[in-house]
Amino acid sequence: MPQFDDVHQQAYSSTLGMWLFLVTEVMFFGGLIAAYTVYRARWPEEFAAASRHLLWPVGFVNTIVLLGSSLAMALAVRAAHLGRDRETVRWLVATMVLGTAFLGIKATEYYIDYRENLIPGASFRVPAEGHGEAGAGHGGETAASLDPGHFQMFFVLYFFMTGLHAFHMIVGITLVGIFAYLVRTKWFSGHGGTQVEVIGLYWHFVDVVWVFLYPLLYLIDIRP
User: Binding string to another protein for residues 108 to 137, with x set by CB under 8 A, is what?
Assistant: ------------xx----------------
Among 67, 93, 112, 156, binds another protein (CB under 8 A): 156
The answer to whether the beta carbons of residues 200 and 176 sit under 8 Å apart is no
> Quick one: which of 81, 104, 80, 78 has its CA closest to 180?
80
Smaller CB distance to another protein: residue 40 or 79? 40
178 contacts another protein (rule: CB under 8 A): no
Which residues, at least 6 apart from 108, have a Cβ–Cβ distance to it below 8 Å? 58
- Segment interacting with another protein (CB under 8 A) among 27-35, 108-116, 187-195, 206-214: 27-35
35 contacts another protein (rule: CB under 8 A): yes
Tell me how far apart the alpha carbons of residues 77 and 197 are, in angstroms, rounded to a whole number.
5
Among 103, 112, 160, 182, binds another protein (CB under 8 A): 160
Tell me how far apart the alpha carbons of residues 165 and 169 are, in angstroms, rounded to a whole number.
6
> Quick one: which of 91, 84, 116, 76 has its CA closest to 190?
84
Binding site for another protein (CB under 8 A): 2-4, 9, 12-13, 16-17, 20-21, 23-25, 27-32, 34-35, 38-39, 43, 120-121, 147-153, 156-157, 160
